[in-house]
Amino acid sequence: MVDVKAMRTKSTHRFLLEVEDAIAKANRLAIKQRLGPLRRRRFMELAAKVAEIRADYLHAAFHIEWAKDSCPTADLESKRHRYEEAVAAYDALERAVERGYVEFED
């Protein structure tokens, strides 16, 4: 008797591996086309920039006059948004590295 469920599972697994491989190739190509050769130094520069943006956001938080009823938070909100976007960009790069989408040239 043929185990249809096992065959379907193997077929599905094989298909998903093919999709995963295609996604990896597409990511490697797209990232390389847009970023060019990626050197470790550029990765570290992005990490350092995120640290600077974090420090800028925290600096603003410590220097805002929270006790005022009309506390101006627009600048703080802008700095938080900038920080969150920088962290998201760094996380995206880190994930791309973990998945093998980025090849470093030294």
Nearest-angstrom CA–CA distance, 102 and 29: 9
Domain ranges of the chain: 4-98
Please report which confidence band the pLDDT of residue 11 belongs to, taking 50, 70 and 90 as the band edges: confident
In the chain, the N- to C-terminal Cα span, in Å, equals: 56
pTM of the predicted model as reported, rounded to 2 decimal places: 0.78
DSSP 68-93: STT---HHHHHHHHHHHHHHHHHHHH
Per-residue model confidence as pLDDT tens digits over 55-102: 999 999 998 877 676 667 788 899 999 999 999 999 999 999 999 999
